[in-house]
Every structure is written in C-alpha cells, then in structure tokens.
Structure 1
Amino acid sequence: MKIICKNCETPNYPDFNYCSNCSQKVNLHRINPHEILHEVVHYFTHADKGIFQLIRDLTLKNGIVAKEYINGKRKKYFPPLNFFLLVAAIFVFISNIPKETPPIDIPKENQELSAISDPIQKEKIIHLYERKEKMLHFMRKYSNLMAMMALPLTAFFFWLFYKKQNYNYTEHLVAGMYMLGYCILVNTLLILPISLLFHLSSKYQALLFLLFQLFYFTLFYYRFLNKSTKLQLAKAFATSAFGIIAWGIISGFTVNAYVSSGFWGMIQ
C-alpha cells in the first residue's frame, strides 16, 4: 500500500523515506519541542550544507566554495544569501548590546575653540564637531553594516575586471556574499573582541579589518577563478584594493557630506 505525501500528495512506496516528488519525509511525527530542536540542529550542522561546515570551507578553501556552488554543487553548501543574512542578524544583535559611552565634552576636547571670540561662529563650529562625533559613533557601531552595503559595488568591480571569465554579475554577487559575509563574521567574532581585549582604538580596529579584507578578497578570487600565476595573484590583489579603496572614498564622501550639511539630524 502506497503512502501519500502530506506535502504534495504524491503516492510513495512504503520503503521510501523521502517523497520522490518534493523530498519531504514520508513518515512524519507530530510537531513537538524535540522535533523543532532537531530541525534547528540539522539546519546548522548537517554535513552537506551546515553553516559550520561552510565556515570551515570558507576558511580553508574560500573561493573554491563559490566556484563549486555557482558551477552546480548547490546542495553541498549552505546557501549564500542565507549565510549573508545570518551574518547580518548576528551583527545586528551584537551591535545592539547596550554599551556605556561617556558623553564627549566638545569644548574640552577641542581647545582651539577657546580662541574663537565670535559666539555665533563658535556655536556653528561646536555643532559641526557634534555632528562629526555622532557620525563617528555611527561608523564605529555600524561598520559591518557599511561593509555589507559595499556588496553590490564590490561585485560590480570584480565583474568588470573579470568579464572574460564568463561569470555574470549575479554570480559575482553570489561569490561576494560568501566572501564579504565571511570577512564581516571574522570582524564581528574575532577582530572586534581582540580590539577590545587589547584596548585598540577604532582606527586600529578598522585598519585590521581592511587588511584582512584585502588579504581574503585577494586569495578568494585567486582561487575562485582557478588561477595559478603570480600575475593573476597580483591582478586579484589590485582588483580587491581598488574595490575597497573605491568604497572607502564613496563612504568617506558621504560621511563628510553628512557632517558638513547637518544631514545627520534628518536621518535620526
């Protein structure tokens, strides 16, 4: 007697564990806490596509992961968009943990203000410094978010520089989700704690992140495109550096526009 799949209503033989049409389990149990917990553990740790397996592969094989996924091995790896969104969720959770930040005394921190005799001019400059401090606070708190926003531009640069490789823009975007997602995960779970442990300033933390990005981007695309010469390694390095610098210029210009125009008050 055949068993009817409860998902797609396809008849299946009794010895089938999974539906031949939709791949859902044929013999289902009632939903209970154990079932939910099992699904969660399975989702993150299943050997052929668990996220921990993916993180290991992105550490050891990096660009090869994206190459195999794009070339057809879709079931082998945790999906790129799911990974990227999960990293974003981890970052949002950590960034919203309350942190005590003492208020900054602008006149005390900027002694040159005492030399300005015009009260109106002095007030304008103080407001400028205040906007600058607010923007710096935003950048420190949401540095990973800004890095995530670079994804479309980063993918565009790699697509532009490697058009002869026959990968379309969307495929470079998929590679970027793995590449950038891993970098942001390392920044959130490794670089940031190290910076806090050794009391490094936000500038040194940002520098460590940028250097790691440059190293990982270079190695990732070198392996993603299956290159083997020093010239191709240099090209991957140059393309990575160009993408990172271009995004730095764009985001820096935007920050300066916020500070100088007071646009920060409009987005609060």
Structure 2
Amino acid sequence: MHCKNCGTKVDGKFCSNCGQKTNVGPINLAYVVDEINNSFFQLDRGFFFTIKRLSINPGDSIRDFIQGKRKNYFKPLTFVLILSTVYALLSTLLNEQTVLGDLLSGWKSYKDGSTLDANATVLHQWFVKNYAYSILLLLPVFSLASYLSFRKYEYNYLEHIVLNSFITGQQAIIYTFFAVLKSFTGENAVTETLYMVFVLGYVFWVYIQFFKNYKRLKIIFLTILTYILYILFVSIFTGIISSIVIKIM
C-alpha cells in the first residue's frame, strides 16, 4: 500500500513519512459527517497552506485533495464557514453590504409587494443577517447545479460540494479585499468591474484547472450552465420556503 498524500510505501494506519492516515477513502456521506463532527472551529496549520495553494494552483490542489492528498489541507466546510464569517463581520464593521445583501437588494427592487413577496423578504433578511450560514445552505444548491452540468465527468455530488466549498471560501477572501477597498474608494465603475472579474474569473479559472483533461471551451460553457441552473434552483428554493412561511403564518 502507498500513501495517497506523498506516495511512500506504508504498512500500518499512518504514513511514516507525512503522518496521513492510510485508510483515506472517497468523498462520500461518511466523510462529510465526519468533517462536521470533528472539524468545525478547529483552526490548524493547514488553514494558511490551503489559502496559499488555492491562490496559486487551485484546480489541481482541489483535485489532489479529492484524490486523497489531504494531510496539509484544511477541511473544506470549516474553511468556507470561517472565511465567510470573517467577511460578514468585516462588512458589518465597514458598514458595507455583503455580496448576498447586494443580490437580494436587487431582487427586491423588481418585486411588487404581494403577500408572497412580503414573506419572501423576511426570509431574505434572515439570509443577509446570517451570511455564513446562508452560504452553507446555498452551497449544496450550487453544487447540485455544477454536478448536473458536469454529470458526465467522474466526480460525484459530494465531491462537487468539496470543490465548491474551497472556491467559496477563497471567494470570501476576494469579497473581503474589495469590501476594504470600497470603504476607501467608495462605489465606482472601475472597482465594481474589477470585483466581478476577480470573483467570476476565479470560478472559471478553478473549473478549467480542475477539469483540465477536457476541452477548455466546453468547460467554460458548462460553468456558465452551472450559474444558470443555480439561479433557477435558488428561485425554486426560496419560492418553496416562502410558501411554507405563508402557510405557517
């Protein structure tokens, strides 16, 4: 048996070279449950290593993690929760709306004030006030969209959650940088354009690297399809919850 992290030949429960467990399995439900039970709020040395790798070589790094090289990386769900919380807190201190707040403000501007919209507004306010938890709730929705878009490829749904967790966590760093920048420069076309280029460009960059064995143009198309499906699923998701709220009230 060889260690999936460093490739050293091992005979036992742990690699003598890097220390990773030898029984590293696939990304499945058992892995996700184990991460939730054991990893939340446990900050270790892998946190900054993960940020570095996701800044330099994100797609390859995430693929390595999924394939078993996990010793030096921070757990993905904890990663996104911590960075989303930092971004939300900093946005509050700077009196800046989060990206989710901006999106929901735009959504509200197109509504007509019906009973359904009033209840939906309450729901959306909860999403804005609880940004980090909202991101965790929306992450499986986006991952469903990416899984369906890339369903002919080798990765399962839970592996897409891992992929998008790392992306979302790293995006929170981009959000944080631009929140600070906006507090100094204010809203302007240049800042907003750069903001969108970095946020969306990062996703395309990661997906192109992650699926590098396939045609780049097709990966770009499927990434666009992922966003289209995501918008559709979120609309359905919020509509169902709003309808439930109406019945309860």
Do the two structures share a fold, i.e. TM-score over 0.5? yes
Taking CA–CA contacts closer than 8 Å with sequence separation of 6 or more, which of the two structures ends up with the larger relative contact order? Answer: 2
- State the SS of the aligned residue for 1:185: helix
2:193 corresponds to 1:193: no
Distance apart, 1:143 and its partner CA:
5.3
Contact 1:63 1:220 in 2 (8 A): yes
Unaligned runs of 5+ in 1: 1-17, 24-42, 101-124
Task: Give the match for residue 40 of structure 1.
Answer: none
Q: Counterpart of 1:69 in structure 2: which amino acid?
A: F
Greater CA radius of gyration, 1 or 2? 1
2:151 corresponds to 1:151: no
User: Aligned partners of 2:196, 2:94: CA distance in 1, in Å?
Assistant: 26
- Please give the per-residue CA displacement for 1:34-93, whole angstroms capped at 9, x wherever unaligned: xxxxxxxxx644xxxx22221121112112121000111011322212312322442454
User: Aligned partners of 1:219, 1:190: CA distance in 2, in Å?
Assistant: 19
User: Aligned partners of 1:250, 1:81: CA distance in 2, in Å?
Assistant: 24
Distance apart, 1:211 and its partner CA:
5.1
Distance apart, 1:166 and its partner CA:
2.1
Task: Give the match for residue 54 of structure 2.
Answer: 58
The alignment of Structure 1 onto Structure 2 pairs a total of residues equal to: 191
Task: Give the match for residue 216 of structure 1.
Answer: 202
Contact 1:150 1:247 in 2 (8 A): no
**Fraction of identical pairs, as percent:** 22
Task: Give the match for residue 86 of structure 2.
Answer: 90
**Which runs of structure 2 are paired with 1:78-227 in the superposition (5 Å)?**
78-94=74-90, 97=93, 145-187=133-175, 189-200=176-187, 212-227=198-213
User: Aligned partners of 1:81, 1:67: CA distance in 2, in Å?
Assistant: 16
User: Aligned partners of 1:19, 1:77: CA distance in 2, in Å?
Assistant: 16
User: Aligned partners of 2:131, 2:85: CA distance in 1, in Å?
Assistant: 14
2:229 corresponds to 1:229: no
CA-atom RMSD, angstroms? Answer: 4.3
User: Aligned partners of 2:212, 2:15: CA distance in 1, in Å?
Assistant: 38
User: Aligned partners of 1:190, 1:235: CA distance in 2, in Å?
Assistant: 28
Distance apart, 1:194 and its partner CA:
1.9
User: Given the alignment, which residue of 215, 225, 228 partners 1:239?
Assistant: 225
Contact 1:148 1:180 in 2 (8 A): no
Distance apart, 1:190 and its partner CA:
0.8
Q: Counterpart of 1:241 in structure 2: which amino acid?
A: Y
